[in-house]
Structure 1
Amino acid sequence: MTNEVDRAGKATFEWIAEQLRRDIKSGELRPGDQLPNQREIAARFEVAVGTAQRALGQLQEDGWIVSRPGVGRVVSASPGREPLTLELLSSQVVELKAQVDTLQETVDRLKAGQS
């Protein structure tokens, strides 16, 4: 575990995670893109591999990246957003169904008015 502190009082791993988030937000790294491995990140930021590992762990915990077996870490399909759960998906389906029903009622009224 590193005790290094850098830029604005942030721990080095937090600062690295912030830089990688910036790369994702800017589109330099897009959903599905593979991230550099721990050693490459350590070399890029001139830190220990453990520090790079903590930065990647933080990004994964926050939903910015996911691990894919045989591939490595990739940018999440919905970086920085709430991870999809069955409960969240179910509520979104219910909302969409209500919107579709409302649209169908509007279409039916418009059709009835044209007759």
Structure 2
Amino acid sequence: MSYFEPFSGICRKRSSSLVFKGILRTRVNMFRFAKAALNVSGKGARLVRFSSTHAPEFHAKYGTGLMVGGVAFCVSVWGFVLTQTGITWNLSPVGKVQPKPWRDAEE
């Protein structure tokens, strides 16, 4: 897939630059990162995937501690929100909504 294909309906290629329809004689040069972003291939995706910044044993060493810390943080924040903020949650109307008494037809 060429990096010009997403723009095929609105521009045309002219000597390494894009000329948009409706803009006469104006050349829009694409930056290198934009060209790379539009020209993502399987090889490029694999390079991004395998060029991680942490060692492979990072998850084995710190994964359990991070998970336990995250769970403790979430439980403590939600515990505070549910018990201390005074928010009325209105979870169920059962027992709170009573039907009006039936009116008898006037005689």
**TM-score by shorter chain over 0.5:** no
What TM-score, normalized by structure 1, do the two folds share? 0.31
Q: Which has the higher contact order (CA 8 A, sep 6+)?
A: 1
What TM-score, normalized by structure 2, do the two folds share? 0.33
Higher Rg of the two aligned structures: 2
Structure with the bigger percentage of helix: 1
